[in-house]
A and B are shown apart, each in its own frame.
Chain A
Amino acid sequence: MIEDSGKFDLNDELKTQIETILDNHCHDFTQIVGILLDVQEQISQHYIPKIAAFYIADKLPIKLSAIYDCITFYDALSDKPRGRYPIEVCDSVACKVNDNGFLLETLKELLGIDFGTVTYDGRFTIEKVSCFGACDRAPAVKINKIVYGPLKTREQVRDLLKQFV
């Protein structure tokens, strides 16, 4: 199961990293979306733990509700822990008509997980996402910013997963 984000430990190292990110963004609260993206990148499970959101709200002249709004509004931000390699499967028309259903089923089967669950070793989660502009490589997935596709056979999917040890 996905671990409760309330238990996340905001250690001094992460605090320093967040401070650096805030410095890079000149402590400008209008850059909150960029700040959150950068913080999320620092956390191996690619999400914004609740305590980190509180911390950022504490450091910037912005209210927690505005931060929470951003986290829940934008697809690229998550308030729930994800795998170290979140597999974002494009679920738009161009990929759907190129049988991304097969891709999804294969991923689920090979990893033994469903949406919203993480593999036992914390490596993978599977997420359906909107078009990320790789329709020329449909059906495609995106893992930590890199696009992979087309993935039409079981072998291609298996080879892909092998890269993330």
Chain B
Amino acid sequence: MIMEDMINLKINGMPVRVHKGTKILEAARLLHIDIPHLCYHPDQRIKARCRICSVEVVGKKRLLAACATECWEGMEVFTDTKVVRDTQRGILQLIMADHEENCLTCPRNGNCVLQQLCSRFNILRPNLTHVAEHLTVRTGNPSLVHDPEKCVKCGRCIRVCKDVQGIEAIGFAGRSTGLKVTTPYEDDFAKTDCVLCGQCTVVCPVGALVERDDTDKVLDAIFDPAKKVIVQTAPSVRVALGDAFGLPDGSIVTKKMVAALRMIGFDKVFDTNYGADLTITEEACELIDRLKNNRKMPMTTSCCPAWVNFVEKHYPGEIEHLSSTKSPMSIFSAVLKTQYARQEKIAPENIFSVAVMPCIAKKYEARRPELGKNGNFDTDAVITTRGLIKLIKYIGIDFVNLQEDEFDDPMGESTGAGAIFGTTGGVMEAALRTAYEWLTGREMPTLEYTPVRGFEGIKEAQVKIDKYNLKIAVVHTLKNAALVMNKLQVGQCDYDFIEIMACPGGCVGGGGQPVTTTFAATKKRMSALYEIDRSSKLRRSHENPYLKKLYAEFLVSPGSDKAHQLLHTCYQARTKEFDF
């Protein structure tokens, strides 16, 4: 470490040494002081907008925003003087005066940043006139709820929508007290550029942008004696759930999660990884078919619902690139309501299929008419990781000390390849394992294919399989996806197979994950998924025994007509409000 790069300063009289470029807020953390903040988010550009992190710096007439101000040599900061308290508390009071105070009935009750700040500053009674106006809640879609009355105008959602996803479905509008965070022309999300990825619901510090809550629907089904309520859990839920119960980021809590789901009252606890294995098998088969028969290339994955929405909405001309294979969740539900129902002799309409997903776009996917029969949907309800946390808390489960339990048979069985579906690069790696073996008749020399691992936005690699020299790409976040799609549109994209996931890091950083999710936490979850893969007995999807049984008894072979009927779907261009 070069000495010149270090800076000495004092915060509340305590000396601290930091790297050049460190902000006051970060420097204070080294001294275990948490300067209050609202608009600040570790993964976002500095906004310095809420001003609640204002602190006193000796020699400055005005207070400085701790989130935005870089430390300098000899700087003296005070975070606890009267003027700082007056200011921070004053700003909080100003926000509260314009905030709909129905905390008790707010979806974020208990994990709201504003609530925590108010408690910290001991805001007991408002000393300002309450000026909050009544505003309409926007709910016209299955995934996302926008309650502008609760908005604190911090702009975190706008940043993630623009800087991470490149969508800009929401933005600021108006000025002064009329400033709001809104979609253009206050249209519902369905009419806008929004693809329901839900990243805004992860970064929102309050209850302004939340997912549509379906936990009651699940409980109603559980209470209904006629229903057999069967739950599947996505791979990335088991490595994120622990965060909410005080476990370190990326803790693997699969077995505790299974136990908790059983206590909540699900009749069967299955694993979406089984669906992932099926998706891989079909997708690998589809890829080989496209390669051999010179069909539309490149093929892209289609397991991410926000990505599918993105193509349908923003690149309708490129729909044919999407793999027709259903997503793990939908493939699972389709098998559940056909083959499994037959095998267990349950009428499909008596099965209530619940999916626990790290995603809010899955709620939309579950309502796609093509993913169901005769108006009945294959997946009856989708709850997010956050929804599951709510159910666990409702039952009153001491999650951390729970006895561990195993998934049920037969659809609880899965491979390591299914597990890594939850991270960017995982689908590609899993598909390669299967495709390699099918094309060459040999096992892949190394199962762990590292060029597709990691947090980089666009990863490229070339794999030689048999006579094919496959050019592959792994992409996460829609901003990066747009870069690839723009190339593809003009024919400058020579990839053969592209994996795309909408959320940063893939599902481990999904829009339905706990609100504490950051890039740092996401990376730990990624490692956890690879750890699950490493310790799995079976690591190639096509080895899954119940999958083999399904093909043997019912679907004939991957890519068969029967498999196509049950396991594949179609996409359609979304019409725009105005077409020119």
Q: Is A148 an interface residue (CB 8 A)?
A: no
Given A50-B185, A55-B580, A58-B580, is A63 in contact with B173 using a C-beta cutoff of 8 Å?
Answer: no
Give the residues in chain B near A65, CB-CB below 8 Å: 168-171, 173, 183-184, 192-193
In the complex, the answer to whether A64 meets B173 with C-beta atoms within 8 Å is: no
Q: Is B175 an interface residue (CB 8 A)?
A: yes
In the complex, the answer to whether B175 meets A54 with C-beta atoms within 8 Å is: no
- Chain A, residues 43-59, CB within 8 Å of chain B (1/0): the string is 00000001101110010
Q: Which of B168, B174, B175, B192 contacts A66 (CB 8 A)?
A: B168
In the complex, the answer to whether B173 meets A69 with C-beta atoms within 8 Å is: yes
In the complex, the answer to whether A72 meets B173 with C-beta atoms within 8 Å is: yes
How far apart are the CA atoms of A50 and B185 in the complex, in Å? Answer: 8
Give the residues in chain A near B170, CB-CB below 8 Å: 65
How far apart are the CA atoms of A76 and B578 in the complex, in Å? Answer: 25
Tell me the dominant secondary structure on chain A's binding face.
helix
Q: Is B245 an interface residue (CB 8 A)?
A: no
Give the residues in chain B near A69, CB-CB below 8 Å: 171-173
Q: Is A73 an interface residue (CB 8 A)?
A: yes
Q: Which of B168, B172, B174, B578 contacts A54 (CB 8 A)?
A: B578
How far apart are the CA atoms of A50 and B167 in the complex, in Å? Answer: 19
Give the residues in chain A near B172, CB-CB below 8 Å: 69, 73
How far apart are the CA atoms of A50 and B191 in the complex, in Å? Answer: 13
Total count of chain A residues near the partner, CB < 8 A: 16
Q: Is A102 an interface residue (CB 8 A)?
A: no
Give the residues in chain B near A55, CB-CB below 8 Å: 578, 580
Q: Is B5 an interface residue (CB 8 A)?
A: no
How far apart are the CA atoms of A55 and B192 in the complex, in Å? Answer: 14
- Chain B, residues 560-580, CB within 8 Å of chain A (1/0): the string is 000000000000000001101
Q: Is A29 an interface residue (CB 8 A)?
A: no
Total count of chain B residues near the partner, CB < 8 A: 18
In the complex, the answer to whether B578 meets A63 with C-beta atoms within 8 Å is: no
B162 CB, min distance to chain A CBs, angstroms: 8
B185 CB, min distance to chain A CBs, angstroms: 6
- Chain A, residues 71-97, CB within 8 Å of chain B (1/0): the string is 011000001000000000000000000
Q: Is A113 an interface residue (CB 8 A)?
A: no
Give the residues in chain A near B580, CB-CB below 8 Å: 54-55, 58
Give the residues in chain A near B193, CB-CB below 8 Å: 63-65
* Most B-side CB within 10 Å, residue of A50, A55, A65, A73: A65
**CB nearest neighbor in A for B168:** A63
Give the residues in chain A near B169, CB-CB below 8 Å: 65
**CB nearest neighbor in B for A15:** B580
B159 CB, min distance to chain A CBs, angstroms: 13
How far apart are the CA atoms of A79 and B174 in the complex, in Å? Answer: 11
**CB nearest neighbor in A for B183:** A65
**CB nearest neighbor in B for A51:** B578
Give the residues in chain B near A54, CB-CB below 8 Å: 577-578, 580
How far apart are the CA atoms of A65 and B168 in the complex, in Å? Answer: 6
In the complex, the answer to whether B184 meets A73 with C-beta atoms within 8 Å is: no
**CB nearest neighbor in B for A67:** B184
Give the residues in chain B near A53, CB-CB below 8 Å: 184-185
In the complex, the answer to whether A68 meets B173 with C-beta atoms within 8 Å is: yes
Per the 8 Å Cβ criterion, residues 22-63 of A in contact with B are 50-51, 53-55, 58, 63
B550 CB, min distance to chain A CBs, angstroms: 45
- Chain B, residues 154-184, CB within 8 Å of chain A (1/0): the string is 0000000000000111111111001000011
Given A69-B173, A73-B173, is A64 in contact with B578 using a C-beta cutoff of 8 Å?
Answer: no
**CB nearest neighbor in A for B161:** A65
Given A73-B174, A73-B175, is A68 in contact with B578 using a C-beta cutoff of 8 Å?
Answer: no
Give the residues in chain A near B578, CB-CB below 8 Å: 51, 54-55
How far apart are the CA atoms of A55 and B174 in the complex, in Å? Answer: 21
Give the residues in chain B near A66, CB-CB below 8 Å: 168, 171
- Chain B, residues 397-429, CB within 8 Å of chain A (1/0): the string is 000000000000000000000000000000000
* Most B-side CB within 10 Å, residue of A51, A64, A67, A73: A64
In the complex, the answer to whether A68 meets B184 with C-beta atoms within 8 Å is: yes
How far apart are the CA atoms of A72 and B184 in the complex, in Å? Answer: 10
- Could you pull out 15 A-B pairs where Cβ atoms are within 8 angstroms? A51-B578, A53-B185, A63-B168, A63-B171, A64-B184, A65-B168, A65-B169, A65-B171, A66-B168, A68-B184, A69-B173, A72-B173, A72-B174, A73-B174, A73-B175
Task: Rank and list the top 10 A-B pairs by shortest CB-CB distance, nearest first.
Answer: A65-B171, A68-B184, A63-B168, A72-B173, A64-B184, A54-B578, A72-B174, A65-B168, A65-B184, A69-B171
**Which residues of B are interface residues toward A (Cβ below 8 A)?**
167-175, 178, 183-185, 192-193, 577-578, 580
